[in-house]
Chain A
Amino acid sequence: MSADQGALAGAWSNLPEYLGWHVLLSLSSLGLGIAISLPLAIFAARKAAVRGPALAFASIVQTIPGLAMVALFYPVLLALSALTRSYFGIGFRALGFLPALAALTLYSMLPVIRNTITGLLGLDRAVLLAARAVGMTGRQSLFIVELPLAAPIILAGIRTAAVWVIGTATLSTPVGQTSLGNFIFTGLQTENWILVLFGCVAAALLAIVVDRLLALAEDGLARRSNTRLAASIAGLMIVIAASLAPLISGASTRVATVGTKSFEEQYILGALIQSRLERAGFATTRRDGLGSTVIFDALASGDIDAYVDYSGTIWSDDMKRRDLPPRQQLLREMAEWLRRTHGIRYVGALGFENAYAFAMRGNEAEKLHIRTLADLSAYAPRLKIGGDYEIFSRPEWRSVERAYGLRFGTQRVYQSGFMYRALTSGDVDVISAFSSDGRIAQYHLALLGDPKGALPPYDAVLLVSPSRVRDQRFLEALTPLVGSIDLPTMQRANLEVDRDVDKRSPDAVAHDLDVLIASHSVRPDRGARRPRDN
């Protein structure tokens, strides 16, 4: 089976869940959007002073890029949650459904507001006069005459909003809300364009079907044809019920959810954990491509049940520690902190490390006699460094800069796949690589040592959510993974997914790894090597 076919098979199996969430999210946002926009527009149609500001607000909202809008609601909700917690003792989750709902609700408003105002202001003045003359109250005029007559135009606005919302809902994946966007983001990250296309086509088809059904309703309203209206409503009900059915049936059986961050190694490990859980009799699902903060919060709140993180990330990002104890002590303190502050269970280290490690082209490192970061400092001002989106704003980078006095001539930021290409093509001279990355061996890169210990260790650690710490069957299914994957094994696995030719899907590679671990052919390598030990 080729990687593409494998990915497509996986995509089909994820479709019911992703589609279900996508429909639920779109429906809720549209419903909420209409509930806000319709009264606002009715008010604005009657008060000219409100009309301008309402339309201006909705238009400004439309100019904010979708991804930014969804992302911006995270800090806003986080602050709100802190506020409600301090006043009422109850917080809520700032990730997942809520930020996506809030952003999409705002997006749905403009067409509904604009069309409702246009529809109401465009009504025949004679009809409005007659409504007053026969003795209708303002309310009666609105509900008996104005809204029914403006309904086709209002519905046209709702139709536009529905299509926008369904399209924009794909952007809710990065804040941890499952949607059809999961296909697109996972595909982008693994450069699997078939998967990206699959996600786009699925979202587009959903939008087209909903659009056609609403067009039928609009037509029914305009022609006063109850048959058309009924057919449209029935069609929409069928689409909604069919999409939500897997979600409802899934929810009742308490599915085990595995989370992954947004890079290849995580997808492989996610699939590996998933297949072990399934063998132990769990129904499972995945939430792929979550951001570092998102995934940790999701585990703490029980939205996901297990994932693999890296000790150094938790140490510096979540524990905010700047000191660097020896690795075993760091793991102990981390485990204790996770248990105490979040109730999270540290199952163990998988046996390899995925550290921030600075890499150069092998031949150039040799020519310049650069083996460690200390050797680099003299050359740094003449060299260009490339990093991923995060590194230059992370504490580890400041710590490295300080420890080795590094001042690079040029600093650039890449999506991680392109970062390696930038190094091999000579656009940059040093990159912030990851030690378990298969491309280090493939491109003959030299990893630079860290003799001063400026970088913390990044042991891959398996974490389980508070809601599963008492689930023995769950823990037993995962414990064998501890110490089962050494660095070369992980590098090889990553390379199979990353390489340009003969690429394989993360699921296929995870399957091989699973077989390997089950046959105990991998000797645990507990003292995983670190760049500074090289």
Chain B
Amino acid sequence: MITLRNLTKIFPGAERPAVDALDLDVAAGEFLVLIGPSGCGKSTTLSMINRLVEPTAGTIGIGGTDIKALEPVSLRRKIGFVFQDIGLFPHLTVAENAGITLRLMRHEKTEIERRSNEVLEQVHLDPHEFRARHPASLSGGQRQRVGLARALAAKPSIMLMDEPFGALDPLIRDDLASDYRQIHDRTGLTTVLVTHDMTEALLMADRIAIMRDGRLLQVASPGAILANPADDFVRRLVETPKRRARVLAEAMGAAQT
């Protein structure tokens, strides 16, 4: 579905590449998590997929087409994008925010209304209650649900998520994460999600791609990474979730006896 070949990004004035000759394939319907420490190039990689950032070298193909041949604007309308700061339009209502991409594509008003109701329900916001409200009157979790609805409205086949749950309370984060995983499975989306939280990656991903200094260290399923970390760095990354799981298992065992 998505193929990255020799993908490289060197920002003007930077000493070393932010993304360094990356090769990666994401299959249709796959849920891939890009993980790594701050500054490892994971967000830059994500942003090149919908041409918010243009690569210095290399190619990105979507469904076999080089995206350089596509108009950036129409490409972005076909790809959902959700990020930590959400960026809801504060002067528009919840329904207007959710339907914005359809408005840009000049869909009929009634169609936009119908579809915005549909996506609001999909993200578990009651349209009757929320349609007419402005973002300022929503909680953080509700806002990110609207952000998600906005990204889903134009029925994209690809969803790009840049630390989408990073700023949320743990409880709300788990809710939203599992809700999204369901949406992903039900709609057959291809998702690339960026995070620095290994627990989140292990719980959500079909495959995990681990990055460091602009390069890929290991790409494998959660089970494979837990079983065979490629190097010390990856081992350290999975150490925390493993220890937590052990502690939790002991605590639960103790509770059962």
B105 to chain A, nearest CB (A): 8
CB interface residues, A 423-459, toward B, < 8 Å? none
Q: How far is the CB of A136 from chain B (nearest CB, A)?
A: 6
B150 and A134 contacting across the interface, CB-CB below 8 Å: yes
Residues of the A chain whose Cβ atoms lie less than 8 Å from the Cβ of B105 = 135
| A68 at interface by CB-CB < 8 Å | no
Q: Is A127 an interface residue, CB under 8 A from the partner?
A: yes
- Mostly, the B contact residues are mixed
| Known contacts A126-B87, A127-B87, A149-B90; A133 and B100 CB within 8 A of each other | no
A124-B87, A127-B87 are known; give 17 further A-B pairs, CB within 8 A: A126-B87, A127-B88, A129-B85, A129-B87, A130-B147, A132-B76, A133-B83, A134-B76, A134-B100, A134-B101, A135-B74, A135-B77, A135-B104, A136-B104, A148-B91, A149-B90, A224-B134
Indicate if A145 sits at the interface (CB-CB under 8 A). Answer: yes
CB-contact partner of A130 in B74, B88, B104, under 8 A = B88
Check if A133 sits within 8 Å of B76, measured CB to CB: yes
B44 to chain A, nearest CB (A): 14
B residues adjacent to A (C-beta < 8 A): 50, 52, 73-77, 81, 83, 85-91, 100-101, 104-105, 134, 147, 150-151
Interface SS of chain A: helix, strand, loop or mixed?
Answer: helix
Name the A residues within 8 Å of B101 (CB-CB): 134-135
| Complex CA distance for A519 and B224, rounded to whole angstroms | 120
Interface size on A, residues (CB 8 A): 20
Q: Provided the pairs A132-B52, A134-B101, A135-B101 are in contact, do residues A149 and B91 lie with their beta carbons within 8 angstroms? A: yes
Is B52 a contact of A129 with CB atoms below 8 Å?
yes
B100 to chain A, nearest CB (A): 5
Which of chain B's residues have a CB closer than 8 A to the CB of A140?
Answer: 104
What 5 A-B pairs come out closest when comparing CB atoms? Answer: A130-B87, A135-B77, A126-B85, A126-B87, A135-B76
Which residues of A are found within 8 Å of B104, using beta-carbon distances? 134-136, 140
Contact B91 A126 (CB under 8 A): no
Query: How close is B74's CB to chain A, nearest CB, in angstroms?
Result: 7
Query: Which A residues touch B74, using CB under 8 A?
Result: 135
Q: Report the Cα distance A197→B81, complex, angstroms.
A: 63
Chain B residues in 8 Å Cβ range of A127: 87-90
In the complex, the answer to whether B81 meets A134 with C-beta atoms within 8 Å is yes
B146 to chain A, nearest CB (A): 11
Nearest A residue (CB) for B82: A133
Cα distance, A224 to B134, chains bound together (Å): 10
Would you mind naming 19 contact pairs between A and B with Cβ atoms under 8 Å apart? A126-B85, A126-B86, A127-B87, A127-B90, A128-B87, A129-B52, A129-B83, A130-B89, A133-B76, A133-B83, A134-B76, A134-B100, A134-B104, A135-B74, A135-B105, A137-B73, A140-B104, A144-B100, A149-B91
Chain B residues contacting A126 (CB-CB under 8 Å) are: 83, 85-87
